[in-house]
């Protein structure tokens, strides 16, 4: 009986991990390759081979020289007549024309520099929608959302949300490097995104952050702010659903990766939510908090760097830990300087302000000025830190990408740079805003 259940569970896992499900979802959403998708659907063997490093990443197309497909002949003819290079017509074998846009993956692979293969987008709305969804789990979103929320909405909620985000992303990245499952094989999957293709796949950290952030945002704000519960739940669910589906659309994760990331994130939130008040109070008030914050985050980074060879996940992990450490240190400084005090219990629940052009302009001004300070901080610290660390450890700094693959450079570089960004986001920027009357 137990053996049957185990066998059924294993079969279910293999079924959910099958890349064919990802490929079918992409086809349903109007994503297909320019010339091999039809062959794969009809069972014709393909000459493409997956990326060995990732168990089937982006493939290299091989065929006799001079052998053009009908589609290429048509596209070449269109290009010769001066048509736009990015948009064209795709026709099926029976001659029925289907409108579509031939595009490249969104960003090249950050580790290998691979730009990936061209593919056809037949539904631009879904392409833009899922591109937005996947960006909700990328660095640009994090460096925009957390500061904006901190400067314009609620610093109390923001700093606690960052604690959850750090733990979710850290545990997710470490789990990836322990399990070491490859990305869905291509073919049959189309790689709409290439940036994270060198990382492992299980679990999806996009799904984890896309679950933890909206869920904790709802848990931390409901009752503290006045808004309808149904509205908060709908927004949280929509956010989570969009991010999870976007990773399948992008060809970055199997269904199993998404389900595992969703459940793993729920588990982490359940475990850490009761401790948020203790952690936040310790970070702000305990005299040894700065030493503990630095030691903990550096120790976690050192542990994660021993799990596997260098990849983009190593830098991402250190970057997340550095940002979390900087914000935690800033909360300690703010508490002792009396900056950004939490509202008293008698002031709760808080009421959202009335929307107006002046409020919108003030929030936008804070955001733009604050982001400029953070970008300047990042650029200055990066320019100073990498050469300094390379000099200390005797590592050539001519090739920055190669130098950063050394643990001795990557770890202190990410910690110092993003620790400074986190510190300035929660301390320096609000400090300046208060003194110029913007906060």
**Residues annotated as part of the active site:** 206, 253
Contact indicator for 331, 426 with CB cutoff of 8 Å: yes
Nearest to 57 by CA among 213, 175, 171, 191: 191
Distance CA(207)–CA(407), nearest Å, equals 28
Nearest to 334 by CA among 142, 140, 158, 167: 158
With b for 16 or more beta-carbon neighbours within 10 A and e for fewer, the 93-108 pattern comes to: eeeeeeebbbbebbee
With b for 16 or more beta-carbon neighbours within 10 A and e for fewer, the 345-380 pattern comes to: eeeeeeeeeeeeeeeeeebeebeebbbebbeebbee
What distances in angstroms separate CA 384 from CA 95, 325, 423, one per listed residue? 59, 20, 17
The torsion angles phi and psi of 94, rounded to 5 degrees, stand at -85, -5
What are the residues whose beta carbons fall under 8 Å from the beta carbon of 324, sequence distance 6 or more? 162, 163, 165, 166, 297, 422
Strand 31-33 relative to strand 97-103: parallel, antiparallel, unpaired?
Answer: unpaired
Q: What three-state secondary structure class fits 121?
A: strand
Distance CA(317)–CA(404), nearest Å, equals 14
Structure tokens at 396: 């050539």
Structure tokens at 339: 């900056």
């Amino acid at each position: 009986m137990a053996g049957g259940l185990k066998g059924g569970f294993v079969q279910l896992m293999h079924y959910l991990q099958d890349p064919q499900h990802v490929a079918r979802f992409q086809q349903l959403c109007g994503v297909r390759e320019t010339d091999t998708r039809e062959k794969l659907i009809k069972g014709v063997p393909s000459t493409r081979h997956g990326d060995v490093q990732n168990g089937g990443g982006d493939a290299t197309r091989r065929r006799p020289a001079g052998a053009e497909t009908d589609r290429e002949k048509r596209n070449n003819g269109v290009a010769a007549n001066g048509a736009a290079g990015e948009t064209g017509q795709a026709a099926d074998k029976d001659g029925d024309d289907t409108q579509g846009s031939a595009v490249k993956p969104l960003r090249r692979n950050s580790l290998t520099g691979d730009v990936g293969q061209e593919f056809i987008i037949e539904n631009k709305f879904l392409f833009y929608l899922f591109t937005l969804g996947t960006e909700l789990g990328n660095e640009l979103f994090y460096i925009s959302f957390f500061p904006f929320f901190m400067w314009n909405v609620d610093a109390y909620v923001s700093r606690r949300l960052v604690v959850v985000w750090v733990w979710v992303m850290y545990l997710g990245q470490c789990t990836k490097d322990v399990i070491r499952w490859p990305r869905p094989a291509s073919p049959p999957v189309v790689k709409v995104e290439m940036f994270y293709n060198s990382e492992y796949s299980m679990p999806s950290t996009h799904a984890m952050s896309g679950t933890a952030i909206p869920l904790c945002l709802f848990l931390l704000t409901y009752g503290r702010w006045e808004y309808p519960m149904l509205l908060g739940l709908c927004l949280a669910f929509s956010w989570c659903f969009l991010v999870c589906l976007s990773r399948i659309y992008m060809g970055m994760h199997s269904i199993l990766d998404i389900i595992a990331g969703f459940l793993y994130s729920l588990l982490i939130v359940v475990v850490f939510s009761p401790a948020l008040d203790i952690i936040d109070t310790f970070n702000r008030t305990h005299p040894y908090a700065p030493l503990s914050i630095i030691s903990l985050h550096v120790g976690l980074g050192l542990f994660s760097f021993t799990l596997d060879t260098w990849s983009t996940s190593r830098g991402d992990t250190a970057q997340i830990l550095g940002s979390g450490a900087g914000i935690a240190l800033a909360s300690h400084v703010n508490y002792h300087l009396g900056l950004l005090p939490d509202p008293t219990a008698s002031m709760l629940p808080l009421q959202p302000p009335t929307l107006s052009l002046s409020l919108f302009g003030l929030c936008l001004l804070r955001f733009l000025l604050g982001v400029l300070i953070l970008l300047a901080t990042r650029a200055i610290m990066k320019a100073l830190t990498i050469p300094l660390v390379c000099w200390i450890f005797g590592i050539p700094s001519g090739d920055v990408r190669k130098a950063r693959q050394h643990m001795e450079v990557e770890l202190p570089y990410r910690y110092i740079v993003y620790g400074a960004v986190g510190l300035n986001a929660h301390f320096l920027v609000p400090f300046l805003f208060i003194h110029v009357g913007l906060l």
